[in-house]
Amino acid sequence: MSSLGDSPTLPVMGDYRVQIEPRIFAYRANDKFMIEAYTSGKDLYATMASEIYHVPYEECQESFGPEGKARRTSTKSVLLGQRTGSCVLNSITQRCA
């Protein structure tokens, strides 16, 4: 543990595979749809992509192939861009800096 002035700090490590950022986002927003995806063991990005593209959940997973990966990736870009305040509209076309 280190400190900044009188405030102790604690390093935090995360595992990108557990989707910690959107989990915190879902909790803080009290978003029932996102929380349900997590509690049912589903991938949040694929779940949201399924709703956005109006296709089955399985067709939005990377294991489905290039189309599934593209759907999931574009949804992930928008979700994370929204959370950080990035340029959400351009993130769909991957043109954000």
Q: What is the pLDDT of residue 89?
A: 45
Q: How does pLDDT run across 20-59, given as a tens digit for each residue?
A: 777 887 888 888 888 898 899 898 889 989 999 999 999 9
Looking up tokens 């990108």 gives 16
Q: Which helix (H) or strand (E) holds 21?
A: helix 20-29
pLDDT-derived band at 14, boundaries 50, 70, 90: low
- Domain ranges, ordered by start, for the chain: 16-91
pTM for the complete prediction?
0.63
User: How many Å separate Cα 37 from the centre of its chain?
Assistant: 11
Confidence at residue 3, expressed as pLDDT on a 0 to 100 scale:
47
Q: How does DSSP classify residue 15? A: -
